[in-house]
Homo-oligomer: A and B are copies of this chain.
Amino acid sequence: MSEEAIRLLTQQVAELTRRMTVQEDIHSIRTLQFKYGYYMDKGLYDEVVDLFAVDGELHFMGGIFRGKAGLRRLYCDRLRNSFTDGHNGPVYGLLADHMQLQDIVDVGRDGCTAKGRFRAFLQGGSHETKESINPRLPLQWWEAGVYENEYVKEGGVWRIKTLDYYMFWQADFETGWAHSKPYEGHFFAKTYPEDPGGPDQLTDRVPGFWPETPLVDFHYNHPVTGKPWIRGRSDGRRKES
């Protein structure tokens, strides 16, 4: 009788421990991504790169940056030069607020991989009193997008495995999204080392920016029906004709 009770309790405690770990993992991952945002706000690119797994990668503007070397090439060389004049930390008169919200984190059955969808909402720009203003950035802009990221637990610590940001729109502060010009930001056309600041690989993904309105595939099934998301659905990419 007590042997049986002990066997049942042991099973229940094991199952509770598994469920507890999932909730703790979700909390770790959502705050990991939120911390990414706080570091990006302030140009702390060294700290950003440290959030990634050793074999982590970043999908950005048509390129894939792989491993710590690739990540440093993008964050610590290219972005740091564009935004904070090569300084690891904020600079006078440069705003790059990276709000992170609306977290959907799902931990895999294996307990050591996870996927997360987040929304980004950005305020960027330069103050009129800043001496050197990067001519490739809008003077002041709003930006919105979605991440579909992957995370990995190594040595008991969650890290970013793949950061994949889909920028949806940018709008000049003065004129708004009704009048956004076609996106003129950078797309990578060559890989490293041919392009010294280029990615390790080019993606074959066709980028779509506002006024196109592409869908970013959901990593999760519909939460009520359980239906998987079907890729390749009609997605607002074609211009009306």
A91 near B236 with CB under 8 A, answer yes
- Give the chain B neighbours of A173 by CB distance below 8 A: 176-178
A202 CB within 8 Å of chain B: no
Cα of A94 to Cα of B235 in the assembled complex, Å:
12
In the complex, given contacts A90-B235, A127-B210, what are 16 additional A-B residue pairs having Cβ atoms less than 8 angstroms apart? Answer: A2-B2, A5-B6, A16-B16, A16-B20, A23-B27, A34-B102, A89-B234, A89-B236, A90-B214, A92-B211, A99-B119, A101-B102, A125-B176, A127-B180, A159-B224, A173-B178
A112 CB within 8 Å of chain B: no
Cα of A210 to Cα of B130 in the assembled complex, Å:
11
- Give the chain B neighbours of A26 by CB distance below 8 A: 27
Cα of A213 to Cα of B20 in the assembled complex, Å:
39
A34 near B91 with CB under 8 A, answer no
A31 CB within 8 Å of chain B: yes
Closest 4 CB pairs of A and B: A90-B236, A127-B211, A90-B213, A140-B178
Interface residues of A in 77-106 (CB under 8 A from B): 87, 89-95, 97, 99-104
